[in-house]
Structure 1
Amino acid sequence: MTKLTQVLQPIANQFEKLGTPEPIVHWGHPFFMAIVIFIMGSYVGYAGWRSRIATDPEIVTKSKADHRKLAPFMSAFLAAGYTGGLLSLVMQDKPLLESPHFWTGSTVLILLSINATLSLTGFAGNKAILRTIHAYVGSAILVLLFVHAALGLKLGLAI
Structure 2
Amino acid sequence: MNWQWIQDTLTQQLEPFAAYFRALDLPEPITHWGHPLMMGIVLVGMGSAVALTGWKGRLLSPTDSDGSVENRKKHRKIAPWMFLFIVMGYSGGLLSLVMQGHPILESPHFWTGSVVVGLLGLNAAISLSKFAGGKPALRTVHAYLGSAALGLALIHIALGIKLGLSF
- The bucket for the TM-score relative to the shorter chain is over 0.9
Gaps of 5+ in 1: none
Amino acid at match of 1:67: H
**CA displacement, residues 93-135 of structure 1 (integer Å, 9 cap, x when unaligned):** 0000000000000001111111000000110100000000000
Which amino acid in structure 2 is aligned with residue 73 of structure 1? W
Matched, 1:45 2:51: yes
> 1:72 aligned to 58, 68, 80, which one?
80
Alignment of 1:5 with 2:6, yes or no, is no
The one-letter code of the counterpart of 1:66 is: K
Task: Give the match's secondary structure for 2:84.
Answer: helix
| TM-score, normalization by structure 2 | 0.93
Structure 1 CA distance, aligned partners of 2:156 and 2:21?
25
How many Å apart are 1:19 and its aligned residue? 1.6
Paired with 1:83 and 1:15, the residues of 2 have a C-alpha distance of: 14
Q: Tell me the TM-score normalised to structure 1 length.
A: 0.98
Matched, 1:134 2:142: yes
Query: Is 2:153 the partner of 1:151?
Result: no
Greater shift after overlay, 66-75 or 14-23? 14-23
Equivalent residue runs for 1:21-60 within 5 Å: 21-55=27-61, 56-60=64-68
Q: How does 1:41-120 map to 2 (within 5 A)?
A: 41-55=47-61, 56-120=64-128
Q: Distance in 2 between matches of 1:16 and 1:154?
A: 24
The unaligned stretches of length 5 or more in structure 2 are 1-6
Identity across aligned pairs (percent)? 55
Hey, what's the Cα distance between the residues in 2 that align with 1:18 and 1:69? Answer: 35
SS of 2:20 mapped into structure 1: helix
Aligned mates of 2:96, 2:28 — CA distance in 1: 10
